[in-house]
Chains A and B, each alone.
Chain A
């Protein structure tokens, strides 16, 4: 039998619903043109975003320039615009968040997708998706009034007692600071990680599990050796997306990080982040240069999170492609 024709006969029918307009009438062309215009408009918005931010940040790049990235001295009133402490705060808080929320989120997703009975997992998963929609300002106010006092009164002292030999956990207990911001970010990205990785686990085909079970594997071995490896790149994609969200978070971080442009070895001490300095100082900025530098910081954030996102998309796409190729 001619296998070629079997393949192509089944190929185009399932891949797309797109309808081509050969011999299309004027009305068809008008409609397509009109809808295409909307698509162009989306492109235009993104392009405008790029160009505007670049133009607005240009004076800052020109006057303050790259040295700003090496300096932590932030004294706008005296023309000192070192942004290193903001970069430090952003990276460290996001790192802490990912470190804490990653394992917990993946563990929770494993339970919801693989272990828990469906009757329990369904509602809990729905709840977690709902919680992913809680606005960051709500997390912020909770962090300020609940988390920060708990950190100061209980968690930071406990950390100092047990791990105090590390410089990370020495110094005064402020309550607001790098660690608190990291923990709050962790709680914020937790539902995102759990919801996405749960979907990824659910997409792992049953034969992967059955094959491992048939080898006499225990329940955990099925998860650790069949399910997680199969979903690995998807999980990484989810983590990178969550990281992107943490990097760009302005409001919640501004409420608990302490807003002090300094770099300290202690995680207890107050700090600042790229997004939160823009949030806090933008409307108070006096002088063209100050404002331009803040726009520049916004653009830096934009570039940073875009790199992270593009990396994540490429990762997820390549995984999707290789997996669908494997299935076909």
Chain B
């Protein structure tokens, strides 16, 4: 293909052969698009088929049962996931949004540059390495697995996403907005916080929601932080179950009942994450003011 690109446009090859080559290559590209869409659709549809069979009221309200007893649910994992993600949001969002506003509107120079660069790097750190980090700084000193340590791990994954989307969002606000406020004699910090930042709220909320969707499905960092549990864990300082963790553990088990629960969990997770994603996108469209 590379060699072909170097050839002159209308050299030895006739228009006719060039045209059929064009048709052929475009057909190949269509095939790629079809393959991609079909594969991914297949996975989701399959998860819906297998998962739907597992879903019933008990699935959402009961604890998992021991091997050999049919039925049981994943209620503790659902609650655990919500608990962990909520705590993570609580840790990550204030810091992330404030840092994003700083990068976008207030900061210049070395600090802003380093934060920007390191956030980008942090986005690419494998989540399992972040799990190892949370294990080392929290699980080891406290000597037990806990929902809190899992929330810290997820918060670190959320942080760069929130920082960068907030920065992008406030940066998109035209300079005319803070200038208009300053020209009215409004103090600078109010011109930024009360006039400029609200204009970017759609982008900020969207970024925050997308970061939630991203971490809600994370399983690797939970393995050695939340650890998992077959019971209710009202205390965030104890091992806690979470949906992605339960899917991983039950899918790898040899028992059909547990595998069934895993598929149900997978479907619930897909629905949850798609719902958050779609909400975020719709909200952005509705709230975006230009």
Contact = CB atoms under 8 A, between A and B. Distances in A.
B33 A49 contact: no
B167 to A, nearest CB: 10
B82 interface: no
Interface in A306-324: 306, 308-310, 312-313
Contacts of B43: 134, 138-139, 142, 146, 187
B48 to A, nearest CB: 11
Contact of B213 (A28, A45, A133, A282): A133
A24 interface: yes
Given A111-B30, A221-B9, A134 B159 contact: no
Interface in A215-234: 215-221, 223-225, 229
Given A295-B132, A306-B124, A108 B269 contact: no
A249 B10 contact: no
A310 B105 CA distance: 25
B266 A301 contact: no
B251 A38 contact: no
A111 B27 CA distance: 9
Interface in B238-269: 244, 247-248, 251-252, 259, 262-263, 266, 269
Given A190-B40, A218-B22, A135 B217 contact: yes
B35 A187 contact: no
Given A124-B33, A136-B217, A194-B36, A52 B133 contact: yes
A302 interface: yes
Nearest to B178: A19
Contacts of A166: none
A142 B1 contact: no
A144 B43 CA distance: 12
B273 A135 contact: yes
A37 B102 CA distance: 9
A28 B187 contact: yes
Among B133, B173, B182, residue most surrounded by chain A Cβ atoms (within 10 Å): B133
Interface stretch (B61-69, B110-118, B229-237): B110-118
B125 A248 contact: yes
Q: Tell me what chain A mostly uses at the interface: helix, strand, loop, or mixed.
A: helix
Q: Which range contains the number of B residues in contact with the other chain?
A: 35 or more
B98 to A, nearest CB: 3
Interface in A27-46: 27-28, 30-32, 34-43, 45-46
Contacts of B207: none
B143 interface: no
A282 B224 contact: yes
B188 A108 contact: no
A104 B35 contact: yes
A16 interface: yes
A301 B105 contact: no
B149 to A, nearest CB: 13
Contacts of B218: 135
Interface of A: 13-14, 16-19, 21, 24-25, 27-28, 30-32, 34-43, 45-46, 48-49, 52-53, 56, 103-108, 110-112, 115-116, 124, 126-128, 130-131, 133-142, 144-146, 187, 190-191, 194, 215-221, 223-225, 229, 241, 244-245, 247-251, 255, 275, 278-279, 282-283, 294-295, 298-299, 301-302, 305-306, 308-310, 312-313
27 contacts: A18-B106, A45-B156, A45-B159, A48-B133, A49-B125, A52-B136, A108-B33, A115-B26, A115-B29, A128-B37, A130-B278, A134-B40, A137-B217, A139-B43, A187-B39, A190-B39, A223-B26, A224-B4, A241-B124, A248-B124, A250-B127, A251-B244, A275-B220, A282-B224, A301-B129, A306-B121, A308-B124
Interface of B: 1, 4-5, 9-10, 18-19, 21-23, 25-26, 28-33, 35-37, 39-41, 43-44, 46-47, 50, 94-96, 98-99, 101-108, 111-112, 114-115, 117-130, 132-133, 135-137, 156, 159-160, 163, 170-171, 173-175, 177-178, 182, 187-189, 191-193, 196, 210, 213-214, 216-220, 223-224, 227, 244, 247-248, 251-252, 259, 262-263, 266, 269-270, 273-274, 277-278, 281
